[in-house]
């Protein structure tokens, strides 16, 4: 049962003073302790050509050696490779994921290079949304893989941004916090660098590319963030090599003509990047990802699915009502589809029936034709048979007559022979008597 809470007409909050210690001033500490025990997670996406110094910069930033195998320049397309690590500094645990864009800028046709990156970012948002929409969700220990910061590595050409850079940043700017950096800044002269930086910034503005704005609304960080924004894009140098400078070892790159110190602010902006990315704004980057970029993804996705906050008359629309409306719409469509399918089925059956009837008629016609041909053939064979039988009987008759004649002739022949014999015997007997 709903309970109506009555509020005073004057909706203002009254300030009351406490006459003793209550204890809710420990709330921030409670929050810190809870977060510390839970650990944090931070995900960085490095976008830049192969060999521009992405892996080296990550190693330099986190003072460690992450596993990475140098990519070749003959990848057929861009693919994203994510690797997660568990880091600890004092009592703070950080689950860090570094995502590399393998093969970026290596293809002749770079039209689709941004697509795998956009897809990757969306896939992480989608996974989070799916977890959020579950009835039994566990966001508390969910491994959040949404990208919190995108370091965009610009080649130190000294000229301007490449069209690939502009297209990619434009496609990503509503999905992720972009921090542009000029890579390998030790290869560009100081006076050129200044011009190069302003050229890049004006190109970003004229192309409407939104990069991450360091927050200036919070007092403690407003000043440093405002100062640092002026130095964008940061010109960085990466190195994991330790060189002895004075009596101290520091990260540097050694050349025949001198040493570039990574952490020397006169040499490059590495320290500024580390301050902005890790030491000052890491939490803001996480928050912006959730409240701005993820929120936008979620809103578009839910709207795409048909969810709205208000009905056509701009009246608030509850999730339940939207669900019911969507369900009814779906059921209506289902019924329509069912009816269409039924009609189609009836039509198909009729068509098949007509086809079968036609085939039956053909078969009958063929059968009749065959029957007629067979009868004609049979008659011909019968006639022939009769003819042959007649011929045979004539032949038999002739044969019998011939045999009769032959036997008569033989009989006549044998009687003559006997007569001749008798005659001869008589003659011989007569001759014998005369002699005696
Ligand atoms: P990835 O392919 O973008 O990850 O590039 P790698 O970090 O593997 O670096 C490629 C090459 O560039 C290696 O030989 C690095 O030593 C070198 N490199 C990295 N960072 C810098 C830099 O700031 N300046 C210069 N001159 N070379 C760098």
Provide block-wise average pLDDT over 10 residues at a time, the chain (436 residues).
Answer: 54 86 93 90 94 93 84 81 92 93 85 92 95 85 92 92 93 95 93 93 94 91 91 93 87 90 91 93 94 95 79 67 81 94 96 96 96 96 95 94 92 86 83 61
CA-to-CA separations, 166 to 52, 208, 235, in angstroms, rounded: 17, 10, 18
Ligand 1 and 186: CB distance under 6 A: yes
Q: Of ligand 1's atoms, which has the minimum distance to the CA of residue 237?
A: 23
d(CA 175, CA 398): 116
Give the pTM.
0.72
Ligand 1 centroid, distance to 233 Cα (angstroms):
18
d(CA 337, CA 321): 24
Ligand 1 and 289: CB distance under 6 A: no
Identify the pLDDT of residue 112: 86
Look at residue 411 and give its three-state secondary structure: helix
Ligand 1 centroid, distance to 156 Cα (angstroms):
12
The contacts of residue 150 (CB under 8 Å, 6+ apart) are 44, 45, 46, 47, 172, 176, 177, 178, 179
d(CA 422, CA 424): 5
Helices and strands (H and E) in the chain: how many? 10, 9
DSSP notation for 91-110: TEEEEEEEEEEETTT-SS--
Peptide bond connecting 277 to the previous residue in cis, omega within 30 degrees of 0: no
Ligand 1 centroid, distance to 211 Cα (angstroms):
24
Identify the pLDDT of residue 344: 96
Q: What is the mean pLDDT of the chain?
A: 89
Ligand 1 centroid, distance to 239 Cα (angstroms):
8
Closest residue by Cα to atom 10, ligand 1, is 51
d(CA 57, CA 238): 5
Identify the pLDDT of residue 2: 46
Ligand 1 centroid, distance to 265 Cα (angstroms):
19
Ligand 1 and 187: CB distance under 6 A: yes
d(CA 330, CA 290): 31
Ligand 1 and 237: CB distance under 6 A: yes
Ligand 1 and 184: CB distance under 6 A: yes
Ligand 1 and 52: CB distance under 6 A: yes
d(CA 58, CA 43): 12
Q: To the nearest 10°, report the CA torsion of 378, 382, 388, 389.
A: 150
Scanning 173-279, the segments in alpha helix (DSSP H) are 190-206, 219-229, 270-274
Ligand 1 and 50: CB distance under 6 A: yes
Closest residue by Cα to atom 26, ligand 1, is 184
Ligand 1 and 56: CB distance under 6 A: yes
């Amino acid at each position: 049962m709903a309970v109506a809470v009555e509020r005073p007409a004057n909706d203002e909050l009254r300030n009351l003073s406490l006459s003793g210690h209550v204890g809710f001033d420990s709330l921030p500490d409670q929050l810190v302790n809870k977060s510390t025990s839970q650990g944090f997670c931070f995900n960085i996406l490095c976008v830049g050509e192969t060999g521009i110094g992405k892996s080296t910069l990550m190693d330099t930033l986190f003072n460690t050696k992450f596993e990475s195998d140098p990519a070749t320049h003959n990848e057929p397309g861009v693919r994203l490779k994510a690797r997660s690590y568990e880091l600890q500094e004092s009592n703070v645990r950080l689950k860090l994921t570094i995502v590399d864009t393998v093969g970026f800028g290596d293809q002749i046709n770079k039209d689709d290079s941004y697509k795998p990156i956009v897809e990757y970012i969306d896939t992480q948002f989608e996974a989070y949304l799916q977890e959020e929409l579950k009835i039994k969700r566990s966001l508390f220990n969910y491994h959040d893989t949404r990208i919190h910061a995108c370091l965009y590595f610009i080649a130190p050409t000294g000229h301007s941004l490449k069209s690939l850079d502009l297209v990619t940043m434009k496609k990503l700017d509503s999905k992720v916090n972009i921090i542009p950096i000029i890579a390998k800044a030790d290869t560009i002269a100081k006076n050129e660098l200044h011009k190069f930086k302003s050229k890049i910034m004006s190109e970003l503005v004229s192309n409407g590319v939104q990069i991450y704005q360091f927050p200036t609304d919070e007092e403690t960080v407003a000043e440093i963030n405002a100062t640092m924004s002026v130095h964008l894009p940061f010109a960085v140098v990466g190195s994991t090599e330790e060189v002895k400078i004075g009596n101290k070892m520091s990260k540097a790159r050694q050349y025949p003509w001198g040493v570039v110190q990574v952490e020397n602010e006169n040499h490059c902006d590495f320290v500024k990047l580390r301050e902005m990315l890790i030491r000052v704004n890491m939490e803001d980057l996480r928050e912006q990802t959730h409240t701005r970029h993820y929120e936008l993804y979620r809103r578009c996705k839910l709207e795409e699915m048909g969810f709205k906050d208000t009905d056509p008359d701009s009246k608030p629309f509850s999730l339940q009502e939207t669900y019911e409306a969507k369900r009814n719409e779906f059921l209506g469509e289902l019924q329509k589809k069912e009816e269409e399918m039924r009609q189609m089925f009836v039509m198909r059956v009729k068509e098949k029936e007509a086809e079968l009837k036609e085939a039956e008629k053909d078969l009958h016609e063929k059968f009749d034709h065959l029957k007629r041909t067979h009868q004609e053939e049979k008659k011909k064979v019968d006639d022939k048979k009769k003819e042959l039988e007649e011929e045979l009987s004539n032949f038999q008759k002739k044969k019998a007559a011939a045999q009769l004649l032959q036997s008569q002739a033989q009989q006549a022949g044998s009687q003559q022979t006997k007569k001749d014999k008798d005659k001869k015997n008589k003659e011989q007997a007569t001759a014998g008597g005369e002699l005696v």
